Amino acid sequence: MSVGYSKKLKIGLPLWLQGCDQIYVVTDKNDKETYSITKLSKKIFLYSTEVFYEKGASFNKGKALNEIYELLNIKSKWMCIFDSDIVPPKKWNETIIPFLKFGNLHSAPRFQDGEKFIPDNPYEMAGYFWIFHSEDPHIPRCPTFTSWKHAGNYDTIFRNNWLRSERTILPLKLNHIGNPGKNWWGIGNTEKMTKMYEERRKRNGDYMHESV
């Protein structure tokens, strides 16, 4: 997923390519800089969609993921979903092989600019990085990923299909080079982020009204 993040994506792609047979970059039709990324490798494919903004959404990441996931219909493969501002360590793919378990959802901790630990609950497994098998029976269908007004929530709904005991924390140190929790509504929409948190406080933390 990369809309306006092509410069950051280019940093991590050489390392992601070490462990991926193919990489699909999802963007919108106006993100011309991201289009050039396919020139970096024959293993990189671009998919453009406008579902990010349907029904008044500001950045519906879940719906965009669902569209490409259903279109590809990948069978019998390990799948990795990562944000464009996440950079893996060298030989990350060799490190994780002994820890991959069919039927589990896998993630790893992230560190801001490679140094400061971002204090996520590791078992909450936010959508910045996941690995799972395409034949895993836990994966929901129709839709696989849910739709929201912004880039959040879909990951919580997806993750909840696995019990905590079925979530594996991989021994990777992921480098985060973006702004954590700043661009759920798309780049520059910080006012919408503020209003979202204000509304959630009024609703005692509920967020279901953010669906589309």
Reduce the DSSP state of residue 72 to 3 states and report it.
helix
Tell which residue, 26, 17, 186, 27, has the closest CA to residue 87: 17
pTM of the complete model: 0.93
| 68: its two tokens | 């490409």
In a domain, 132, yes or no: yes
Give the contacts of 101 (CB within 8 A, at least 6 positions apart): 168
Question: 57 in helix, strand or coil?
Answer: coil
Of 59, 207, 198, 73, the residue nearest 135 (C-alpha): 73
CA distance 203 to 145: 24
Question: Is 155 part of any domain?
Answer: yes
Residue with tokens 């909450």: 124
Query: Can you give the residue range of the structural domain that contains 98?
Result: 6-210
How many domains, in total, are found in the chain? 1
Measured at the CA of 149, the angle between CA 64 and CA 34, to 5 degrees, comes to 40
Q: Which 3 state secondary structure label does DSSP give 132?
A: strand
Within-domain flag for 1? no
Enumerate residue ranges in the chain where pLDDT < 70.
none
pLDDT attached to residue 32:
87
Q: Going by C-beta distance under 8 Å and a sequence separation of 6 or more, which residues neighbour residue 152? A: 61, 184, 207, 210
Confidence (pLDDT) at 133: 97
The per-residue pLDDT for range 52-90, each reduced to its tens digit, is: 999 999 999 999 999 999 999 889 999 999 999 999 999
Residue 133 is assigned to a structural domain of this protein:
yes
Are 137 and 161 contacting, i.e. CB atoms less than 8 angstroms apart? no
Write down the pLDDT at residue 12: 95
> What CATH number is associated with residue 135?
3.90.550.10
- For residue 208, what are its two tokens? 């279901």
- pLDDT for 39: 85
